[in-house]
Structure 1
Amino acid sequence: MMRSSLLVSGIGMSVALQAQDYLPILQYHHVSETTPRSTSLSPAEFIGHMDYLESAGFEVVDLRTALNKIKVNSPLPEKAVAITFDDSYRDIYTGAFPILSEREYPFTVFINTEPVLAKRSSALTWEQMKEMEKSGAVFANHTVNHPYMMRKEEGETNEAWLSRMTQEVDTVEELLLEKLDFTPKMFAYPYGESNQAIRNIMKDRGIMAFGQQSGVVSIDSDFENLPRFPASGVYANLATLKTKLNSQPMPLLNADAGGDLAGADPVSIRLTFKEGKYRFKDLACYVSGQGKANLEWTADNQVVATAPKAFGTGRGRINCTMPDSTGRSYYWYSNVWIRPAADQHYVSEKS
């Protein structure tokens, strides 16, 4: 039986804690000592993460079930958390699965299917996936070929690009149904990159999708661009992961980042907060590779965070945190921009 919260109620008594309306989600790739460190952690490190979840009283929940509850404002177990993996690496089966199945923890794997269909030795097989399903695994969509979804091929029209991206999504949905008899209607963008046209593909198909910005999911989240906390490579450090696991969603009414792409000017994001008593003086926003963002309060409940300088080519982000009233937990929000190189053929936001 999966480890989950059981609601046991009686007259004047409830032993279940149903107090959480948000969900931190961990993102892993490799669980191996021989794969690239940037996307890996060792089995020993992974055991350390799972031991912490257990000792600290976290409830590991099925991702799809939890997201559906959040969407309808149905509470989750106290200290709910979900576990996910990206890509179809076989070491998920050899390195992570034994550790998860021993604890009866559900988990989700977002698979790119080209390596599976090519029967590469480094990729999962459909038989291994079926075995893992019996112990609580769910397999979801990560495209066929793992493309940069915002990039066009040389000479490709916008229409042809969008058709190709649609095929990347639909093909895997069909394969999940054909090979595993089930699709959870969930998707992880390769490299975390998407734009509104791609997010509309998800919305039209009723697919919940994930980027690579950090944070926790709540009813206020964009369900076509949900956050997760990376937990591999430099993010495998358990001390910093504890802070993230105990974080809450930033209490925002709106966040305006000015689009998905960055240019020659420093990026900025306008955050508008909900009504409430918050520790605004302790709000801090950090820019990847640059230190603290400049904060300009434009109203009592609105701030503009601006990077000190323009991003270089690639992905850059601003992470904002603010302690809650107790000082024991942080509100968390993150946004990612992409600054394209001239030869990468990113789809223009004006096209």
Structure 2
Amino acid sequence: MKPWIGLSLLLAALGIGLIGPALQASRSDVMYRDQVAVLMYHHVDETAESSSTITPQLFRSQLETLKRLNYHFITLEQFSAFMDGSGEVPPNAALVTFDDGYESFYTKAYPILRELRVPAVNYIITGTLEHPKETYIPSLSRDELRAMRKESPELVSFGCHTDSMHGKLDNGDAIMTGRITRGDGSPETEDTYRERVLLDTKQCLQKLGELEAGGSDTLAYPFGITNRQASAIVGDAGVRYAFTITPEMAVPGVDPLRIPRINAGSPNISPEGLHKTITRRIVRVPEQLKSKAHAGG
């Protein structure tokens, strides 16, 4: 009997294979590396109906399904390290983000995130912090933000969704990228526009910083709308990473002020459908970009 055959028989008798099932499973479970599926949500509620509202049951089912399929949920801190090249992310990495800072994040989503140990970042319209329960959909209060950060700082962080620029002008342009009409009927000047966006972004970051909310150097654009000029201004205001709603994967080399996200927060997105959407957007990351990211370049 050849030595390797004898070894195989011995290992088999002990219930051990030369390539064990666990190792085989770990290989087959790797769908992608060196990229992140950034998932976008808004409102979680049992009865409210909109294209950006899902039930707590669907939210839980999505997260449980992705975990079962061996997705690895990462923190905003891990994502930031991946983006600047100082750290790596696990295979099948996913980052959960919420926009608008609704109170339902605290009452509906957060208990599920805490139970499943899934990190998330919520992008807050900080102007609503002054009167959080007077908004159309009740918003998070300072006390609720502080409570989550105190209880689960490793799971929950918050970023900027502007201070008072979440809206659209009469002509349909986003307030963040359009030009406001002045009292005399003339549009604001380029200098005035830049100062408005710069000041609003700084105010948003400052308010979150005062709450020690974590992630206060990141921003999600209202409606996902931006342009080259607006992105440059928020960068000058202190934003390192900004998110759009372009449905792609975040990969090394992506513009840090125009990071894509995949919508997960629609009531017609089933857990299996979300998984399929992510897998359809997996890209092949060139080796030189992998090396640059891992080298901190």
TM-score bucket (shorter structure): 0.7 to 0.9
Q: What residue number does 2:210 align with? A: 178
Equivalent residues of 2:197, 2:234 under 8 A apart: no
For the residue of structure 2 that corresponds to 1:216, the secondary structure is coil
1:239: Cα distance to partner? 2.8
Deviations 1:102-159 (A, max 9, x none): 1121110000012221232501111111222232100100001213211111122222
Deviations 1:15-45 (A, max 9, x none): 9999721000110000113334211001111
Matched, 1:114 2:114: no
- What is the alpha-carbon distance in structure 2 between the residues aligned to residue 138 and residue 181 of structure 1? 6
Equivalent residues of 1:73, 1:219 under 8 A apart: no
Q: What residue number does 1:169 align with? A: 201
1:248: Cα distance to partner? 4.9
Q: What residue number does 1:62 align with? A: 75
Matched, 1:151 2:178: yes
- Aligned residue identity for 1:191: F
Map 1:195-214 → 2, pairs under 5 A: 195-204=227-236, 205-214=238-247
Matched, 1:142 2:161: yes
- What is the alpha-carbon distance in structure 2 between the residues aligned to residue 65 and residue 107 of structure 1? 12
Give the aligned CA root-mean-square deviation in angstroms.
2.5
- Matching residue within 111, 124, 142 for 1:126: 142
Equivalent residues of 2:38, 2:96 under 8 A apart: yes
**Structure 2: which 5+ residue stretches go unaligned?**
1-22, 168-173, 289-297
Equivalent residues of 2:96, 2:120 under 8 A apart: yes
- What is the alpha-carbon distance in structure 2 between the residues aligned to residue 250 and residue 35 of structure 1? 35
- What is the alpha-carbon distance in structure 2 between the residues aligned to residue 66 and residue 80 of structure 1? 9
Matched, 1:217 2:250: yes
Moved more, 82-91 or 17-26: 17-26
- What is the alpha-carbon distance in structure 1 between the residues aligned to residue 252 and residue 43 of structure 2? 30
Equivalent residues of 1:143, 1:172 under 8 A apart: yes
- Higher fraction of strand: 1
Map 1:187-336 → 2, pairs under 5 A: 187-204=219-236, 205-233=238-266, 236-251=269-284
- Percent of aligned positions that are identical: 24
- Aligned residue identity for 1:104: R
- What is the alpha-carbon distance in structure 2 between the residues aligned to residue 210 and residue 58 of structure 1? 21
1:245: Cα distance to partner? 2.8
Deviations 1:250-299 (A, max 9, x none): 4589xxxxxxxxxxxxxxxxxxxx9xxxxxxxxxxxxxxxxxxxxxxxxx
Equivalent residues of 2:194, 2:233 under 8 A apart: no
- What is the alpha-carbon distance in structure 2 between the residues aligned to residue 138 and residue 187 of structure 1? 12
Q: What residue number does 2:113 align with? A: 100
Structure whose alpha-carbon radius of gyration is higher: 2
- What is the alpha-carbon distance in structure 2 between the residues aligned to residue 242 and residue 50 of structure 1? 10
- What is the alpha-carbon distance in structure 2 between the residues aligned to residue 249 and residue 51 of structure 1? 21
Equivalent residues of 1:20, 1:75 under 8 A apart: no
TM-score by length of 1: 0.63
- Aligned residue identity for 1:221: V
For the residue of structure 2 that corresponds to 1:27, the secondary structure is strand
Q: What residue number does 2:43 align with? A: 30
Change over 3 Å in CA distance of 1:104–1:89 after alignment to 2: same
Change over 3 Å in CA distance of 1:203–1:32 after alignment to 2: same
Q: What residue number does 1:86 align with? A: 99
- What is the alpha-carbon distance in structure 2 between the residues aligned to residue 168 and residue 227 of structure 1? 23
- What is the alpha-carbon distance in structure 2 between the residues aligned to residue 55 and residue 251 of structure 1? 24
- Aligned residue identity for 2:148: M
- Aligned residue identity for 1:153: I
Equivalent residues of 2:78, 2:87 under 8 A apart: no
Equivalent residues of 2:159, 2:216 under 8 A apart: yes
- What is the alpha-carbon distance in structure 1 between the residues aligned to residue 272 and residue 213 of structure 2? 40
Tell me the number of residue pairs that the alignment of Structure 1 and Structure 2 aligns: 240
- What is the alpha-carbon distance in structure 1 between the residues aligned to residue 65 and residue 105 of structure 2? 20
- Higher fraction of helix: 2
